[in-house]
Homo-oligomer: A and B are copies of this chain.
Amino acid sequence: MTGDKKPVPEPTLRRLPTYVHYLRRTAQVETETISTSLMAKELKLDPTQVRKDLACTGVTGTPKVGYNIDRLIDAIENFLGWDNVEDAFLVGVGNLGKALLSYERLSGYGVNIVAAFDVNPALVGTSINGVKIIELKKMKNLIQRMNIHIGIITTPAGSAMDVAEKMIDGGIKAIWNFAPISIDSPDNVIVQNMDLYASLAVLSKKLKQQLKHSKRKNR
């Protein structure tokens, strides 16, 4: 234990899963070690950035050789807490909710959905991928009884704030929000927006810049 550390910057946290995906893919076909410059090149990132990101996890490489791929994967997974799964509740069993419930692999990323909630009586009592769908009004009580910390919101925008309030009342500490609405929360509750529209905004803006640029070149 090295005592209190500075919190890791969010862009670093966002890049770490990309490294794991890349490393897992590379581990299947290539050698046992990898250099940060190769990783940076293939992932189109700055090598210094990659080196800094990996340093956050505490792993060390060998000069001129690089990192042992398996050890690097373990270090990042351990750092991200993927070896220490948290239980979560999901609210809103539409297509997006179903998609998340069907991701077998979510628990490999540190989160295990243990129950889902909806207001639709046709869904209540059924299961998806082994996860039971329960009446929404029972959620608050169950959060307390099961000591759940993570709530996932996949409802339409109109119901998201109401669901978030119920979650926070019950004792949820972190909300993963897929509804296209910003959620007010007290300071001790983390809200992570899935930001479908933020991602789309980056994509379409970049595309427009590029199309404009290539049009200009072709004149």
A 173-184 binary contact with B (CB < 8 Å = 1; else 0): 110100011101
Q: CB within 8 Å of B: which of A167-219? A: 173-174, 176, 180-182, 184, 188, 190, 192-211, 214
Asked whether any CB of chain B lies closer than 8 Å to the CB of A95, the reply is yes
Asked whether any CB of chain B lies closer than 8 Å to the CB of A66, the reply is no
Which residues of the other chain, B, contact A194 by a CB distance below 8 angstroms?
196, 199
Which residues of the other chain, B, contact A8 by a CB distance below 8 angstroms?
205
Asked whether any CB of chain B lies closer than 8 Å to the CB of A10, the reply is yes
The minimal Cβ–Cβ distance linking A197 to chain B, given in whole angstroms, is 4
Asked whether any CB of chain B lies closer than 8 Å to the CB of A67, the reply is no
Say yes or no: B201 contacts A13, CB within 8 Å.
Answer: yes
Do A197 and B17 form a contact, CB below 8 Å, given A81-B204, A102-B95?
Answer: yes
Which residues of the other chain, B, contact A197 by a CB distance below 8 angstroms?
17, 21, 109
Asked whether any CB of chain B lies closer than 8 Å to the CB of A43, the reply is yes
In chain B, what residue has the closest Cβ to A208? B81
Say yes or no: B21 contacts A180, CB within 8 Å.
Answer: yes
Give which listed residue, B174, B182, B208, contacts A203 with CB less than 8 A: B174
Which residues of the other chain, B, contact A192 by a CB distance below 8 angstroms?
199-200, 202-203, 206
A 69-80 binary contact with B (CB < 8 Å = 1; else 0): 000000000001
A43, B25: Cα distance in complex, Å: 38
Say yes or no: B201 contacts A17, CB within 8 Å.
Answer: yes
Residues in A lying within 8 Å of B, measured CB to CB: 7-8, 10, 13-18, 21-22, 25, 42-43, 80-81, 84, 86, 94-96, 98-99, 102, 105-106, 109-111, 149-150, 173-174, 176, 180-182, 184, 188, 190, 192-211, 214
| Apart from the given pairs A13-B198, A94-B102, 18 other A-B contacts in the complex at a CB distance below 8 Å | A10-B202, A13-B201, A13-B202, A14-B201, A14-B202, A17-B197, A17-B200, A18-B195, A22-B182, A80-B205, A95-B95, A98-B99, A111-B200, A150-B203, A150-B207, A174-B204, A174-B207, A192-B202
